[in-house]
Amino acid sequence: MRNLILGGARSGKSRLAEQLASTSGLAVTYIATSQPLDGEMNARVQLHRQRRPADWGLIEEPLALAAVLRAEAAEGRCLLVDCLTLWLTNLLMLEDDQRLAEERDALLACLEQLPGTVILVSNETGLGVVPMGELTRRYVDLAGWLHQAVAERCQRVVLTVAGLPLMLKGPAL
């Protein structure tokens, strides 16, 4: 089962993903895409670490997400990726359009073949005003297109608002 959990900042999306992983009854590997480059991001990472069970595996991969998913996915395992928009930001900051396209295409190509359970978390950024800056507009556009393509390949898509899951596609939670 492939799951996409979307939501805004502090919407409860990561907590919902962690609950799904915990109740799956499977061995869980958490794939973190963040690069904690400042104090605020370090604090966010620490909060996530404190919430995770000690028996979960951890892989920190800011760029080569598809390669990690292909290597780690297996029947009887749950992979939790948090989050796609941080991964996209990491690729955007490389200022290498070819690498961004290659990594995005690799992710989309591998999703439907992955065995086991995959839970993908991402920030829904397309509900606000159109950003003024070129890079920010590009980010919002790329995130929106990525979410559409990932949602198409997932059996369950959930939008999380105020800690409440809104089912967009697939079986109820």
Which residues are the active-site residues?
48
- Number of other CB atoms surrounding residue 159 within 10 Å: 19
Half-sphere CA count of 140, side-chain side, radius 13 A: 14
Helix, strand, coil distribution of the chain in percent, nearest 5: 45, 25, 30
E strand map for 8-135: 27-32, 57-60, 77-82, 117-123
Distance between CA 36 and CA 38 in Å, rounded?
6
Q: Angle, nearest 10°, between helix axes 39-51 and 13-23? A: 30
- Residues with Cβ within 8 Å of residue 116, at least 6 apart in sequence: 26, 73, 74, 75, 76, 77, 78, 79
